[in-house]
Structure 1
Amino acid sequence: MSDMQIQQVIHQMRALAARSPTPAPQAEGPAGTGFGALLQQSVNAVSKQQAEASQLAEAFQRNDPGVSLPQVMVSMQKSSLAFEATVQVRNRLLQAYQDIMNMQV
């Protein structure tokens, strides 16, 4: 996944977070919502998307009339892409943390 694609996914995650209802504000410092809350919302969104894809696949296996194979495949691909993007963000965060920890002061 290229840097451009990762940036696009991060932008989409931020847009989704902005559209979702925000919980009651908590005292997290001067930034307001905080990075941790944004990251948690993104992980929850990916989890929800994976659960929906799983439910569609199960419905297709039960031969539900309202579920088609293309619908299931698109849903599975979306959840897979969201998970891969989340893993890439995690990898970038870990690398940044390691870089900071290895800095000499």
Structure 2
Amino acid sequence: MEINRIEKVSLNPIGLNQRKEENSSSEFVNFLKEALNRVNDLQKDYENKANDFLLGNDVNVHNLMISAEKAKLSLELTVQIRNKAIEAYQEIMRMQI
């Protein structure tokens, strides 16, 4: 006779809300991961173009500069978003219950 494992059972409607919150938080995490991957891709694209330019390959200077600015701006935006998130966290931690 096989015994199956009993999964966690919640008859509490709050448990349903928690699942929705978990789904929305996982969606947010996925959004952040995708955004960071895009920033990383822009950085890699610039690095590849810069290496090609330094090696003497046929790279348009204006495309190289555009890639550099995209990489720079995306990184600056990411840093500013991180700073705002840290400020918000610190503000929440200062709140009295």
User: Above 0.5 in TM-score?
Assistant: yes
Partner of 2:62: 70
Asked whether 1:42 is paired with 2:7, we answer no
Q: Is the 8 A contact 1:28 1:34 kept in 2?
A: no
Extract unaligned runs of 5+ from structure 2.
1-19
Letter in 1 for 2:67: S
Q: Deviations over 1:6-38 (max 9, x none)?
A: xxxxxxxxxxxxxxxxxxxxx972427522111
Check if 1:56 corresponds to 2:49: yes
Task: Work out the CA distance in 2 between the residues paired with 1:80 and 1:69.
Answer: 16
Matched residues in 1 for 2:63 and 2:93: separation? 45
Q: Which has the larger radius of gyration?
A: 2
Which of 47, 70, 86 does residue 94 from structure 1 map onto? 86
- Native 8 Å contact 1:53 1:79 kept in 2: yes
TM-score, normalization by structure 1: 0.68
TM-score (norm 2): 0.73
RMSD of the TM alignment (CA)? Answer: 1.8
Q: Percent identity?
A: 33
